[in-house]
Amino acid sequence: MNALRLLITGVSGQVGGAVAALAVAQGYAVEAPPRQTFDLADARSMAAYLAAGGYDAIINCAAFTAVDQAEATPEEAYVCNAVAPEVLSRIAVGLDIPLIHVSTDYVFDGSKTGPYAESDLTSPINIYGASKLAGERAIAGSGCRYAILRTAWVISVEGRNFVNTMLRLGAERDVVSVVDDQFGCPTSADDIAAALLVLTRALTERSVASGIWHFVNGGEATWFDLAAFVFARAAAAGLQTPTLNRIATANYPTPARRPANSVLAIDNFTTNFGFTPRDWQTAIGAVLDQRLKG
């Protein structure tokens, strides 16, 4: 059987880069065009590019993820997070290929006690979350075969993420204050990549119906918990670490509101696919081991 041919968007980001690398390692034929040749704001050029490529599936990892910036530039957020997925889904219908799409925990408002299931009411409290929800709805309403993977608190060796920010601040400051009343699921980009390829195989083989799944590493944490974990590993590696202070969200105002609880339930994914993710400490510890060696 010939290798599946995948078009992957957003490879300059954490998840896109991870899934492209893993797909190549697993023997997929991967194409990851740069923005100059695959413009997410140009529906006509996207359609022409995909029609000429003979692809078996699209994995859309492109996103506007600057949560605070989205409050000031909502149009940019919606073009990437809502309009582009809608266009991709319509193209996928015409080509009869599945679309696998990455979404976010921020489609929830954070008022629930306990982990959010896929069936829970969505009610985003910031522009980023609202734009990602609009993209989900456009895909679900398009008639294409699709899998939407909601994930959270993405961490990788490279790129802009909380772990790398903490390591930088730890080297620059004697004291770092971190919010301790927002709960979520730190998640390795490498593990998300593995989950996306599980969904890709299932959709291309038509062994699963279209739907939404949650995938994160096991357990939950606050941002303070994650920072403490990072600095403990950094100290063990001989790096300078700061005094770490707990603060409330109210004492750290940002342009965009964040949900107090965005923990995601992963039972549905593990039951359907027999894929149980690592706990977050193991997964993020592996990322830190690579990062600290550098």
Q: CA-to-CA distance for 259 and 228, rounded, in angstroms? A: 21
- Per the listing, tokens 């590019």 go with 49
Among 78, 128, 146, 252, the one annotated catalytic: 128
Neighbours of 31 (CB within 10 A): 16
- Per the listing, tokens 């994930």 go with 151
Residue 28 has φ and ψ, to the nearest 5°, of -75, 155
| Rounded (5°) CA angle 34-40-44 | 105
**How do beta strands 146-151 and 183-184 pair?**
unpaired
Residue whose C-alpha is closest to residue 46's, from 30, 23, 62:
62
Active site residue 78: no
Residue 96 has φ and ψ, to the nearest 5°, of 55, 50
Q: CA-to-CA distance for 220 and 286, rounded, in angstroms? A: 17
Query: What is the set of active-site residues?
Result: 128
